[in-house]
Chains A and B, each alone.
Chain A
Amino acid sequence: MARVEYEDVWKQFASQGAPAVRGLSLDIADGELLVLLGPSGCGKTTALRMLAGLEEPDRGDIRIAGTSVVGREPKDRDVALVFQSYALYPHLSARENIRYPLKLRKMSRAEQDKRVDHVADMLGIARLLPRRPSQLSGGEQQRVALARAIVREPRVFLMDEPLSNLDAKLRVHTRTELKTLQRELGTTMVFVTHDQAEAMSLANRIAILSAGELQQIGTPDEVYDHPANLFVAEFIGSPPMNLLEVTRDGDTLVAADGWRLPAPLTRERPAGELMVGLRPEAIAIKSEGHAAEVVAVEPLGSEVIVDVRIAGKALKVRAAPSVRPQPGSTVHLAVEPGGVRLFDRSTGSALH
């Protein structure tokens, strides 16, 4: 049982003015792959390090398998951490690196070697074992760091942006491998990243943080389709969600240049300053609809992103690869009612 719980955790560093982590509460199920997502400085790495035992919370509790681990040394928590820089021991061979945690636990030499070989095979690095970290490529070092974590068979895997230093192609490839690996091993994993695409493809659930506060936690589909606030709406999705300021007029929402959008059905009728969110794929270019000027066309092969301008605001629209309007020409936009998200402009939170 390796359930992980954060309960109202606060952390402030003396050198900084604002708390790094504010009242974080999370419940991570056994065997789940949870991604902590957010921009730099949002507190996700601090939250991870507190779980590892490298930092201690000022307030609140952190529990693994139901027992509080606050105050306990990292080694007593039975967690493994893969660092962004891999943090391999430079003076030891790859084999010695992987062996190290086992050596500390005073396992028999034979048992150590058996486990090391097993993990090395699993990750395909068996032939790299005699080499030193300086003789390995970035991707190879990363696997050695992974191996060192896996060989311990910990209760929880902690990953601090382990893929950030890899080149794009390797990153995508390793991402898939990691996801498969985690599923096979069945161990709870907490994964930190700032890359929303990475989070979407890896996670069972994503926890989005900003300025130390949890913004939303949900499956990738949930946070994509129903972002809880403007921050999440803008952070998730590439290209990001289009945002327009609107006012309510009965069942319609009116944008600055007169564009009328169907309001989503809600029990209350929120009035006042409102913001509408439209995913690029929720807008379609049709023969009739609201007029917009084409600014640029980005052909991406499998689709086309059309940059348009409405009332001085730039919007991105997803279209089929054959749609190629000329820059400067006018196109007509239509919106599906199901694609409209409503937000309160002042608080930022979603309104349905």
Chain B
Amino acid sequence: MTAAARAISGTGPSRRPRARPLEWLLVHLAFVAVSAFFLAPFLWLFGAAFDENATAYIHWPSAPTFNNFIRIFTEHDFGVALGNSVFVSVATMLLVVVTVSLAGYSLSRIELRRKDWITYGILLLQTMPLSATMVPIYGLARQLGLRNSYLGLILIHATIELPFLVWLMKGFFDSVPRQLEEASWLDGRTKLRALIEIVLPLARPGLGIAAGLSFLSAWAEVLMVIILVDQQSMKTVPLAFYEAMRNQGGYTEVQYGVIAAMAILYLMPVMAVFIGARRLMVRGLMSSTRGL
């Protein structure tokens, strides 16, 4: 057993867990830099929300308080916005899940020669930039009388994620073999019951993604809300947030603390899903290039 062998064991770059100290240092330095860049804004947000005299300066307040959170309910009607958001988001989620299950299943099982065209069309629709539809949806909604109404909000929020989710559910249904529902038809079930009782449970992950994504999408949606709502009683959380940001008097008077508190509450459902179902969330978001 040579001394040389003992001394130099462990050298050389390798894909196995054995790194030189220099490499470890460089990699972790990079980590620090990257983490700092990506987390700094959130660190600031957390500090500012609990600070009565919050500025843009990143620090933990000397006298942390819940005052900001109280103010958003008393001064900014945040309670109204919160209620609206919850209602609209849940309603959207329900509408989406039902619609998308029916459509995805139908698209999966339908026998059309040009079926591919429909899928292609759906994928094309999915790439449409929402910001381009702001102007026409305004006009359309106004003519249809859908502005400042729950119906308008729900219908439009539901439609946003529709193309992607129909395509997603179709994929899940494609993986469920037809024999299963055919067997249940022979047993005497109607097609609808077969769908609900037999096929749907097998496509559960897809439903989970559809529900989660549509809820979060509706929760976070702001472009459409700007267009559709101008009555205070109808505003949602994103709109309240948006307005609070825009109604700044002068540059140095940005009410960071209050808006930060709003941001925290606005962020909470997203964070909950992120912590609880991160992989599923990422998977769902990845395929829909729109992101949140």
Contacts and interface: CB of A to CB of B under 8 A. Distances in A.
Let me know if chains A and B touch directly in the complex, using CB atoms closer than 8 Å.
yes
Contacts of B16: 54-55
Contact of B12 (A7, A57, A73): A73
Given A14-B17, A54-B14, A55-B16, A71 B1 contact: no
B35 interface: no
Contacts of A14: 17
B17 A57 contact: no
A57 B4 contact: no
A68 interface: yes
A16 B8 CA distance: 23
B231 interface: no
A71 B10 CA distance: 7
B18 to A, nearest CB: 8
B14 A71 contact: no
A5 interface: no
How many interface residues does chain B have, given as a range?
10 to 19
Contacts of A7: 1
Residue picked from A7, A54, A68, A70, most chain B C-beta under 10 Å: A70
B9 interface: yes
B11 to A, nearest CB: 6
B2 interface: yes
A237 B18 CA distance: 40
Contacts of B186: none
B112 interface: no
B5 interface: yes
Contacts of B6: 59
A56 interface: yes
Contact of A58 (B7, B9, B14, B17): B9
Interface in B1-42: 1-2, 4-12, 14, 16-18
A8 interface: yes
A239 interface: no
Contacts of A8: 1
A56 B10 contact: yes
A46 to B, nearest CB: 11
Nearest to A49: B16
A56 B2 contact: no
A57 B6 CA distance: 9
Contacts of B8: 70-71
A70 B9 contact: yes
Contacts of B10: 56
B12 A71 contact: yes
A56 B11 CA distance: 9
Contact of B5 (A55, A70, A73): A70
B68 to A, nearest CB: 48
Interface string B126-150: 0000000000000000000000000
Interface in A53-80: 53-61, 68, 70-71, 73
B11 A71 contact: yes
B9 A57 contact: yes
B17 A71 contact: no
A68 B9 contact: no
Nearest to B13: A73
B3 to A, nearest CB: 11
A232 to B, nearest CB: 28
A7 B5 CA distance: 11
Contacts of B2: 61, 68, 70
A58 B1 CA distance: 11
Contacts of B4: 68, 70-71
B5 A68 contact: yes
A53 B7 CA distance: 16
Contacts of B14: 54
B97 to A, nearest CB: 40
Contacts of B9: 56-58, 70-71
B12 A61 contact: no
A61 B18 CA distance: 19
Contacts of B12: 53, 56, 71, 73
Nearest to A8: B1
Interface string A1-27: 000000110000010000000000000
Interface string B230-245: 0000000000000000
Nearest to B14: A54
A61 B11 contact: no
Interface in B232-273: none
A73 B12 CA distance: 7
A71 B14 CA distance: 12
Contacts of B7: 71
Contacts of A59: 1, 6
B1 to A, nearest CB: 6
A61 B1 contact: yes
Contacts of A60: 1, 5
Interface string B116-134: 0000000000000000000
A226 to B, nearest CB: 31
Given A71-B12, A73-B12, A61 B5 contact: yes
A14 B10 CA distance: 13
A68 B5 CA distance: 8
Nearest to A69: B5
A53 B16 CA distance: 12
Contacts of A73: 12
Interface of A: 7-8, 14, 53-61, 68, 70-71, 73
5 contacts: A53-B12, A56-B12, A58-B9, A71-B7, A71-B8
Counting from the closest, the 10 A-B pairs by CB-CB distance are: A71-B8, A70-B5, A56-B9, A61-B5, A73-B12, A61-B1, A71-B11, A68-B2, A61-B2, A68-B5
Interface of B: 1-2, 4-12, 14, 16-18
Given A54-B14, A71-B5, A71-B11, 6 more contacts: A59-B1, A59-B6, A68-B2, A70-B5, A70-B9, A71-B8
